[in-house]
Chains A and B, each alone.
Chain A
Amino acid sequence: MDNVLLAAVLLPLLGAGCVWALAETGRKVVRISALATTLLTLALAVVLISQYPVGEAEFAASETNVSWFGGEDGPIDVRFSIALDGLSLWMFGLTALLMVTCVLISWEAITDRPAAFYGTLLLLETGMLGVFIARDIILFYVFFEFTLIPLFFLIGIWGSEQRRYAAVKFFLFTLAGSVLTFLGLLAIVLWNAYHSADGVMTFSIPELTASLRLHPIDPAVQLWIFLALFAGFAIKVPLFPFHTWLPLAHVQAPTAGSVVLAGVLLKIGTYGFVRFSLPMLPDATAACMPWVLWLAAAGIIYGALVALAQSDIKRLIAYSSVSHLGFCMLGIFSLNPLGMQGGVLQMVNHGLSTGGLFAVVGMIYERYHTRKIADLGGLAHRLPLLAFFMLVLTLSSIGLPGLNGFAGEFLLLLGMFQRAWTGVPGDWVIHLRIISVVSVLGVVLGAWYMLRLVRLVFFGELREPIRADGEPAPRDMSLREVAALAPLLVFVVWIGVQPRFFLDRMSPQLDGIATQAAKSLDQKPPELGEALTDANEVAAAGEPTRDH
C-alpha cells in the first residue's frame, strides 16, 4: 500500500510523457491514452480513499518519504515526502475525478495539437495532486508553482479571443502573490530552526506544525508571516478584492481549463490557509479573523451581485465562484469545528457543482459557439438531458437541501453564527454578528442569479443562433458527455444525503486545527493595529542584535 500514492501522483506524469510520445499517431490514440491515464489515477485514488480509516486524528496514509536534496546530516534536509491525511483526502479524490471529466469534455472540442493539450492537462494533474499531499514545505511550493505553468499554456494556447492577456494576467497576478508566500514559508522554517530545542532546520510540514505548537512564533512576527502567506493564498482563492484575474481567466480558458481552475486550483488557496496559516500562525489568525471574515462576506455579496449583472454565461459562473469561495473562507475563519468542516466540505462541493456547470457551459458553446445569454433561450426543448444536468448542478450550487451544497453551506453558516453569537472576542462582536447574518443573504442572491440564468437560457421560447443552411440542429448530450457529468451528480447527491461519510474522514484533523485556533482566539488576541506596532518594535529592537 505504501507506494500507491506515489504511483497515483506519478502516473499522470508518465501519461503526459506517453501522450507526447504518441503525438504522431493522431488524436484518437492520444485522447484514449489520456483517458486511460486519468481513469487509472482515479482508480488508485478510490483505493486510497476506501482504505482510509474513520476517526483517527493526525493519520497519514500511504506515506513516501525520501531525501530530496541536502541531507539528513546537513543543515538543509528537503525531502520528497507525501501522504494523504484528512484535510487532503477529498481534495485529492476530487482532483482525480474532475480530470476524467476534463478529458471527456475535451474529446471533440480540442482539435489543435491534441497531444500537447492532453500532455499539459496531465502535467497539471500531477501538480494538483502533489500540492494536496506534499508533506514538505519546499515540495509543496514546487507543486504550488508548478500548477501555474500548465494552466498558463492551457489558457494561452487553447483559450478564446483574449487568451494571451488573460494568461499573462493570471500568471503574473498569482505569481506576484506566491513569491511573498514563499518568503513567509521560509520565515516559518527559519524561526523554527532558530528557536526549537535542537536547532535542526526542518521543512517537514507535520514536524513544523507540532514544533510550533510547543514553541509558537512571537505573535507580532506571526502577523507579518501571516500577511505574507495571505498575499499568495488570498489571490489564489480568490478573496475579494483580489479576484479580478479570475473572471478573465475563466472566460478565456478552454472548458477543461475552467473546470480544473474552478474545481481544484482555487481550493489550493483555501487549502493553504488551513494547512499553514491556521495551525502554524494561530495568534495572527485570531487577530486577523474579523478582517478576513469581512473580506469573505464582502466577496459573498459582491460576487453574487456582479454575477447578477452578467450577460455572459461563463463570466456569470466565474463570479459565482467568487461568492462561493467567500463561503469557504467564512467557514474556515469562523475557527470552530462546525464552520471548519463546513468550509472544507464546501471546497469539495464547489468543485463538483461549479466544475460541472463549466462543463455544461462548454457543451453549450460547442453546439452554438456563443456564451451570450441573450443569444440563447428555451434550450430545454432542444437539449432536455443537458437541461436536466444544468438544473441539478444549479440546485446543488444554490444549496438546495438534499444535494451537496446545502450540507456544506449549512454547517459553515451555522459555525459562523455560533462564532458570532456565543463566546466572542470583545470588541468585534457587532462586526461578527453583522457578518454572520449578511452572509446568509448570499444564499438568497445565489438563487437569484442562478435561476435567472436557467430561466433565460433553458426556459421560455426556443431561441438559437441562426444556423447555416444544411447545418443540422444540435443534438442532445452524447453518451460520452453523460459519462463526463454523471459521476459528479452521484457525488452531488451522495454528499447531500449522507455528508457524514465525508465528514467523518476529515473531522479528526480539522477539529484539531479549529480547536487550536479557537484557543488563541480565547486568549484575547491583540488588535491588528496594536500588533503591527508591536511588530515594528520587535523589528526595531531586533536590529542592534543583528550587528553582533
Chain B
Amino acid sequence: MFDIKTLLIAIPALPLVATLVTAVFGRRVLRQRSHWPVVAAVAGSFLASLLLLNEVHKAAALEDSNQKVGYESVLALWTWAAVDNAYDLDDETDAQGSQTKDFRIDVTLRADPLSSIMLVAVTLVSLLVVIYSIGYMHDDPGYWRFFTYLGLFIFSMTMLVSVSNFVLLYVFWEAVGLCSYLLIGFWFQKREASAAGKKAFLVNRVGDFGFALGVFLLWTTYGTLDFHDTTTKDDGTVAVAMADDEVTTAGVLGQERLTEGNYKTGAVATAICLLLMLGACGKSAQFPLHVWLPDAMEGPTPVSALIHAATMVTAGVYMVARCSPLFFASTDAQHVVALIGGFTALMAALIALTQTDLKRILAYSTISQLGFMFLALGTGTLVGVVAAMFHLFTHAFFKGLLFLGAGSVMHAMGGVIDVRRFGGLRRLMPVTHWTFLFGSLALAGIIPFAGFYSKDTILLAVHAKEGAFYAVLYWTAVVTALLTAFYTFRAFFLTFYGDEQIPPEAGHHAHESPGAMVWPLRILAVASLLAGIVLYQWGSFDGFIRKTPSLDYLARQADLAAAEDAVAGHESVEHDAHFAVMAQSIVIAFLGVGLAAFFYLGDRKEIAAIARAMDRAGLYRLSHGKFYFDTIYKFLVVWPLEGIARLCYWIDRYVIDAAVDFCGMVPRALGASLRPLQSGLIQFYALAMVLGLLILIGSLLMCTL
C-alpha cells in the first residue's frame, strides 16, 4: 500500500484535490469551514512525506553504492508532449543508429534523498502555516479564496521538488510564482498589494527568461531534458531506464552520465550554469533580482512565512543543488554563484540594520540567509552543497517561526507592523515572546539552536576552499553573521522589551493570539531548537542526503581528486580548522546579540548617536533607502522602457500608419491631378490628339532611322 510510487503521487495529489474542492464549494458551501479540505490534505501529505522519507532511507541504505550513483526512483505518469525527429545529431548516430533525436517530455516524478527531505520540510511548514491561518485569516471575506490559493501553492511546491525533468521544473517553478502573485495581491483592493504582486511576477519573469534559455541550451547541448535515463523498449515506447535496461538517452542528471562524468565543460557549461543561476536569482531573491521580496510582504503574513521564507524562495537553492554536477563542470560559474551569494548576504544584512518594518527586517534577513546558502553552493564541494541544504532545512523552521511570530504581533496590534510604534510586548504576548526568542536565537546562530549548526557548516565549507577569493568570502560571511545576530535582536528588543507601547489601531485585539496560531509557534520553536542538534549531532543528515545522485557524483569526484593527489604524492593535509571556525562563529553570534542588548535595552542614547553619525556620513540613508535599487531600476529599466513604448506608439501612428495612409492616398491624388485634363473643351482634346499623333509619328521615325 505505502510503496514509494503511491506515496509520490499522493503527496501532490491530496492538496490538488483539496484545492479543487475549496475552489468549487468554498464560496457558497464551505465558507468559514473552507480550511478543512486543505488542512486534512496537507496533513495527509505530511504523513505521506514522512513515510516516503522512511522508504527512501531504507532503500538508499540497501543500494549497492558501487553500481549506482546514489539512489533514485522515477515514476512516469503520462507524456506531456512529443515531437519526433526534433533534433539533428549532425552526422553522429545514437545507439539506435538514428540520425535524429525525438523531443519528448514525460510527466515524471522522482524520489531520492534530496527530494524526500524537501518534501518533508515543505509539507511540515505548510501544515503548520495552514493551521495558523485558520486563526489569522478568520473573518476575512476571502477566506475560501485564501485556502484555495494556499492549496494550489502546496500542490505546485511539492511537484516542483519531485519532478524529474527540466521542463516540468520550469512549469512548477512558474506555478509557484503564480501562487505567490495571487497571494501577495490577495488583498487586491490595496494598491500596494496588487503592485507588489505584479512586481514579484515580473522580476521573476526576468529570472525565468534566463532559466528558459538555460533549458534551451541544455536541450541543444545534451539532447534531452530529463534528469533520469530513458530506454526505448522493443515496441518503440519510451520508458524510464531500470537497472538492467540498455540506456538509449542518458538523462542530464542520469546514472549513465553521472557514472561516466560525461559533462560538457568550458563556455557552454558556464553559460548553462549562469542562465540557470539567473532563474535562481529571481526565485530566491538574490542580487540583482532581490527587489521583489521586501515588497512581497504586502501579502498576508502566513504567506510571507510559507512562500517567502520557508519554501518557494528556496527553490533556487534546491535547483542549483540538484544541478550541482553541471555547476561542478564550470569553476567560473561556481565563483559567480559564491560571489552573488556572499554579496547578497552582506548587502541584505546591511539593509536589515535600519529597517523599521518588522516583516521587512525579516524579509531582508531571508534574502541574506539565502545568500548564505548560495555562498555554500558556490564552493562546488559536497560539503558546501550539503551545508546549503542543511541551512535551507533549518532556515525553513526558524524563519517560518519568526514570520508567524511577526504575524501574531501584527494580529494583536491591529495590523501595525512598524517596530517604532509598539514595544514591551513580552507580558502581553508571552507565548509569542518566547517562541520569537527561540527563532531569533536560531537566526542569530547561538549554540545549540538549529541556525548555529547550519551556519557553522556553511562557514566551514567556505573556509575549506583555498585561495584568496574564498578567503574574502569567508570573512564577508563572518561579518554578515555578526550583523545578523545584531539586527535580529534589535528587532526582538524593540518589539518585546522597553516600555509597553500599543498603537491605537490595536483596539480590543491587544492580547495573545488564539490557539490555532500559538500552537504552530510552539512546534516550530521546538523544531528551531532541536533540528540542528538532532540532525547534526546524532543524525545522519549528510550521510543520507549524499545518497542523492547529483551529490553522490560530487562525492565521487572528490574521491577521485583525492586519489590523484595521493598518487602524485601530495599528502592532503587534514586541517583541523573545525574548532577554530566554530569558536569564531560562537563568539561572533554572542557579540552581535550583546551589542544589540547594549544598544537597545535601556535608553537607546548610544544608538541614536551612532545613527546620527552614520547619517552624516550618508551611510544610514543608504541602508535605510535599501541601497536605492528600486530607484536605480526605475531610472535604468522601467522609465526608459516606458519611454520607448510611447515612442513606438508614436511611430506607429505618425510614421508607419501615416505611410499606409499615404499609399492609400496615391491613387486618389493621381486621379485628382489628372482630373483637369477632362475639361470638356473640344479644342483642348483636339490639341491633345494632334500632339499625341505627332509624338507617335516622331518616335516611329526615330526607330526606323
Contacts and interface: CB of A to CB of B under 8 A. Distances in A.
A337 interface: yes
A62 interface: no
B78 A460 contact: no
B509 interface: no
B84 to A, nearest CB: 6
A422 B191 contact: no
Nearest to B663: A176
Interface stretch (B112-120, B214-222, B283-291, B325-333): B214-222
Given A401-B172, A406-B171, A459-B189, A451 B201 contact: yes
A417 B216 contact: yes
Interface in B138-197: 167, 170-175, 178, 185, 188-191, 194-195, 197
A306 B645 contact: yes
B541 interface: no
A188 interface: no
Interface stretch (A72-80, A283-291, A495-503): A495-503
B88 A455 contact: no
A414 B219 contact: yes
B645 A305 contact: yes
Interface stretch (B481-489, B566-574, B649-657): B649-657
Contacts of A113: none
A378 B85 contact: no
A504 B82 contact: yes
Nearest to B82: A500
Contact of B649 (A173, A310, A451): A310
Using C-beta atoms within 8 Å of the partner chain, give the interface range for chain A.
35 or more
A309 B81 contact: no
Contacts of B209: 440-441, 443-444
User: SS class of chain B's interface: helix, strand, loop or mixed?
Assistant: helix
Given A305-B641, A413-B212, A455-B198, A511 B189 contact: no
Contacts of A378: 188-189
B676 to A, nearest CB: 26
Contacts of A413: 212, 216
A244 B652 contact: yes
B189 A308 contact: no
Contacts of A515: 85
Contact of A338 (B103, B178, B195): B103
Nearest to A380: B188
A378 B188 CA distance: 8
Given A401-B171, A459-B185, A414 B216 contact: yes
Contacts of A444: 202, 205-206, 209
A325 B188 CA distance: 32
A338 B191 CA distance: 42
A417 B188 CA distance: 38
B481 to A, nearest CB: 36
A244 B657 contact: yes
B648 interface: yes
Contacts of B587: none
Contacts of B644: 305
A306 B648 contact: yes
A381 B81 CA distance: 39
A61 B660 CA distance: 42
B698 interface: no
A402 interface: yes
Interface residues of B, number: 55
B259 interface: no
Contact of A507 (B83, B202, B215, B649): B83
B646 interface: yes
A443 B80 contact: no
B166 to A, nearest CB: 11
A8 interface: no
A436 B217 CA distance: 11
Contacts of A497: 80
Contact of A460 (B86, B170, B188, B202): B188
A179 B671 CA distance: 21
A406 B172 CA distance: 12
Contacts of A310: 649
Interface string A390-421: 00000100001110001100110111011001
A422 B220 contact: yes
A336 interface: yes
B649 A443 contact: no
Contacts of B627: none
Given A337-B86, A406-B174, A455-B195, 14 more contacts: A305-B644, A306-B649, A309-B648, A337-B83, A411-B83, A437-B213, A440-B213, A444-B209, A447-B205, A451-B198, A460-B191, A500-B80, A503-B82, A511-B85
Interface of B: 78-88, 90, 103, 167, 170-175, 178, 185, 188-191, 194-195, 197-198, 201-202, 205-206, 208-209, 212-213, 215-217, 219-220, 641-642, 644-646, 648-649, 652, 656-657, 660, 664
20 contacts: A173-B660, A305-B648, A338-B83, A401-B175, A402-B171, A410-B167, A410-B212, A411-B81, A413-B212, A414-B215, A417-B219, A417-B220, A418-B216, A423-B88, A459-B188, A460-B190, A461-B189, A497-B80, A498-B80, A504-B82
Interface of A: 169, 172-173, 241, 244-245, 302, 305-306, 308-310, 336-338, 341, 378, 380-381, 395, 400-402, 406-407, 410-411, 413-415, 417-418, 421-423, 436-437, 440-441, 443-444, 447-448, 451-452, 455, 458-462, 497-500, 503-504, 507, 511, 515
For the complex of A and B, list the 4 residue pairs with the smallest distance between their C-beta atoms, beginning with the closest.
Answer: A401-B171, A459-B194, A244-B657, A417-B216
